[in-house]
Structure 1
Amino acid sequence: MSARPDTRLPDLLGIELPVIQAPMAGYTTPAMVIAASEAGGLGSLPGALLSIDAMNEALARIRAGTRKPINLNFFAHTAPEPDPAGQMAWRSRLAPYHVELGLDPAAPVPAAGRAPFDAAYCGVVEAWRPEVVSFHFGLPAPDLLARVKRTGAKVIASATTVAEARWLAAHGADAVIAMGFEAGGHRGNFLGDDMATQVGTFSLVPQVVDAIALPVIAAGGIADPRGVRAAFALGASAVQVGTAYLRTPEAQVTALHLEALKSARDDSTALTNVFTGRPARGIVNRLMREIGPLSDVAPGFPTAGGALVPLRAVAEPAGNAGFSNLWAGQSVALAREMSTAALTRSLGDAGLAAA
């Protein structure tokens, strides 16, 4: 590892501050992206929950608000094969909750959707030409990745192990996000699924820095300037921060989720697969305690979520967050209420000082 902080990433991405506002599907708004980019960081729009029309609409709003670099983020997972038996077992496990809330356990439920990157999404990239395109769960097929690169976009992607970082470096990434075990939301793992061996941020970052020649972005457990300084001391070239942005007024967060964020402690989160079928870190609630947090019955990502939609529709209006995914990282208690712009500048100034 170099004795001097790596400062390549801001130049690579064309940003002033070494801070990436994490793309948080369902929570990030165009206003957040605009504010983060205008403040000098990299605003990120998550695409996994957006239709093509909704993505185009969001990008139109963003480009009307800023001409500075932005990141368009996608999931690169493979959709699971149909599993009727698995779905029946999952719905049977959830049936008592449906009955408790006055719902018919046998009633049809909506399909749960987090769409993987495909030709249609690639067309959006080609039309809007964002400066950065990021991926979660690996990288898309080589032909799609080549199309993205032909737009001039820089490609970054998440790694949760050194092996994944090496794989990304060998398959076309321009920079790698070293995503520690502390991070909120979905784990970015794609070469293995053993959660017991996932690595913490401040162990992972220097090992990834030593393993690859690309700039490394630290993610997970970073919510204030102290975390930024620590990441830079270990060789990171930038940080990606998510949970802290959930406390900004630009975030789209339910009142129940916001209250959970405000009252969370250091031990309030856990990894769970019961909301989507894939491990993700969130604030512990009833569903996680009673059938998880990691359940062998939960069907493949993202199909587990469909049967939870009716439960949330009844529970949330009654002030019950027991069936809602309350994504947050382990440093949630360090987050403070402030604007996206102020948070970006605070984190970015710490990075510049460390560099």
Structure 2
Amino acid sequence: MSLFDTPFIAAPMAGGTSTTALVQAVGDGGGLGFLAAGYKTTEAMAAEIAAARSAGLRFGMNVFVPDPAQLSPGPEAKARLEAYRSELESDAQRYGAAVPPLRIDDDDAWQGKIDALLDDPVEFVSFAFGLPGASVVKALQKAGSVVIASVTSVEEARAAAEEGPDALVVQHRSAGAHSAAFLSQGPTGPVPGTTADLVAQVRAAVGLPLVAAGAIGDADALKDVLAAGASAAQVGTALVRTDESGARQLHKDALGDPRFTATTMTRAFTGRWARSLVNGFVLDHPEAPEGYPAIHHLTAPIRAAASAAGDAHRLNLWAGTSWQSGRTGPASDVVRGFLSGL
């Protein structure tokens, strides 16, 4: 068997979508679930780990790697962020909300989460948005965790391999939500046509087990990436509409709404490139600057107010390019559908 004992891995989806109930349902269907530490306090992450353990679940935990450059922007970058803050005022006024002051010091409790994972190790720890550093990788491995880095290109895969992780998530641009890119943040430039193509390129460059991510919406797509050399696939969008997903109902409904006809890469919601359904907010802010998580904090009240108002056009409707294959119902049935086609 592979490192994961299954070819199906539920992607960690921060912001509440990944829940212990989702992890359990994925496990019941024959897959492996991940929890997401992103946007949580260290204490909340620890509590979720404790809950998963008490339920007897097999799981992994994903952690965001902070970008020092985003935590100390120069004067020009800060001016662009302030200008975007002003641009957002009209969106906030729709709901009587307020755009908060610019915040640039949020490292998502990085050290606290690493310390907690060293004190109370979990089976798998994955990282996104950057590399954790060789010393962190080695410490987690010594504590007993399998360490997984996320990459989006051959160059990133080679850089990640230098730190000694046990496996790599290879994310194609077709994936929903945030790009894991850390050497190049832009959405333009030549890229492999499919996730399987990218997996094959990375497989030729590094000798680590690979987990494919991006537009894996059915059993055929899963078979394609496994044939290209992946040990497993990391599936996110296909699980968002399921019963156990913690995604907002507006988000779930939008993924099944024929009025939404396309996805695109946007920085409008968080300041980091992410793939979303094209809605009013995306169209209104095509030139949003880089600035994560500063812009995430600026738009949070708008997104919360839009959710309360039932307005899907001001929400971050994360979706991969295979979003139309997503189904409602128990997540365990979705996982079984993928695996039964192998």
1:156 to 148, 151, 160: 148
Q: Aligned with 1:275: secondary structure?
A: coil
Query: Is the 8 Å Cα contact of residues 112 and 305 (structure 1) preserved in structure 2?
Result: no
1:60 paired with 2:50, answer yes
Partners of 1:56 and 1:97 lie apart in 2 by 35
Q: Aligned with 1:345: secondary structure?
A: helix
Within a 5 Å distance, the mapping from 1:329-344 to structure 2 comes to 329-344=320-335
CA deviations on 1:4-50 (whole Å, 9 max, x unpaired) are xxxxxx4323x2x2111000002111111122234432210110111
Query: Is the 8 Å Cα contact of residues 266 and 331 (structure 1) preserved in structure 2?
Result: no
1:219 to 213, 219, 226: 213
Question: Which residue of the partner structure matches residue 39 of structure 2?
Answer: 49
Q: Aligned with 1:213: secondary structure?
A: coil
Question: Which residue of the partner structure matches residue 75 of structure 1?
Answer: 64
Partners of 2:174 and 2:13 lie apart in 1 by 16
The one-letter amino acid of 2:186's match is D
Partners of 1:119 and 1:337 lie apart in 2 by 37
Q: Aligned with 2:88: secondary structure?
A: helix
Within a 5 Å distance, the mapping from 1:207-286 to structure 2 comes to 207-263=201-257, 267-286=261-280
Within a 5 Å distance, the mapping from 1:1-355 to structure 2 comes to 10-13=1-4, 15=5, 17-26=6-15, 27-68=17-58, 70-79=59-68, 80=70, 81-82=72-73, 84-103=78-97, 108-109=100-101, 111=103, 115-116=107-108, 118-197=110-189, 198-199=191-192, 200-263=194-257, 267-292=261-286, 295=287, 297-350=288-341, 353=342
The one-letter amino acid of 1:213's match is G
Offset at residue 117 of structure 1 (A): 6.6
CA deviations on 1:133-155 (whole Å, 9 max, x unpaired) are 10112321332222211112111
Offset at residue 125 of structure 1 (A): 1.2
Query: Is the 8 Å Cα contact of residues 199 and 230 (structure 2) preserved in structure 1?
Result: yes
Q: Aligned with 1:263: secondary structure?
A: coil
The one-letter amino acid of 2:220's match is R
| Greater displacement, 188-197 / 30-39 | 30-39
Partners of 2:127 and 2:187 lie apart in 1 by 20
The one-letter amino acid of 1:18's match is P
Q: Aligned with 1:259: secondary structure?
A: helix
Partners of 1:314 and 1:247 lie apart in 2 by 21
Offset at residue 97 of structure 1 (A): 2.4
CA gap 1:100/1:340 in 2 versus in 1, 3 angstroms? closer
Q: Aligned with 1:195: secondary structure?
A: coil
Structure 1 portions without partners, runs of 5+: 1-9
CA gap 1:92/1:119 in 2 versus in 1, 3 angstroms? closer
CA gap 1:214/1:59 in 2 versus in 1, 3 angstroms? same
Query: Is the 8 Å Cα contact of residues 122 and 147 (structure 1) preserved in structure 2?
Result: no
The one-letter amino acid of 2:263's match is T
Q: Aligned with 1:256: secondary structure?
A: helix
* TM-score, length of structure 2 as denominator length: 0.90
Aligned residues: 334
Partners of 2:215 and 2:48 lie apart in 1 by 28
The one-letter amino acid of 1:73's match is N
Partners of 1:201 and 1:249 lie apart in 2 by 27
The one-letter amino acid of 2:272's match is R
Offset at residue 191 of structure 1 (A): 1.2
Offset at residue 227 of structure 1 (A): 0.8
The one-letter amino acid of 2:146's match is K
Partners of 2:316 and 2:107 lie apart in 1 by 18
Offset at residue 180 of structure 1 (A): 0.8
Q: Aligned with 2:45: secondary structure?
A: helix
Q: What is the RMSD computed on CA atoms of the aligned residues?
A: 2.3
Partners of 1:100 and 1:122 lie apart in 2 by 40
Partners of 2:221 and 2:95 lie apart in 1 by 42
| Greater displacement, 313-322 / 201-210 | 313-322
Partners of 2:338 and 2:82 lie apart in 1 by 46
Query: Is the 8 Å Cα contact of residues 74 and 117 (structure 1) preserved in structure 2?
Result: no
The one-letter amino acid of 1:287's match is F
CA gap 1:65/1:188 in 2 versus in 1, 3 angstroms? same
Offset at residue 204 of structure 1 (A): 0.6
Q: Aligned with 1:270: secondary structure?
A: strand
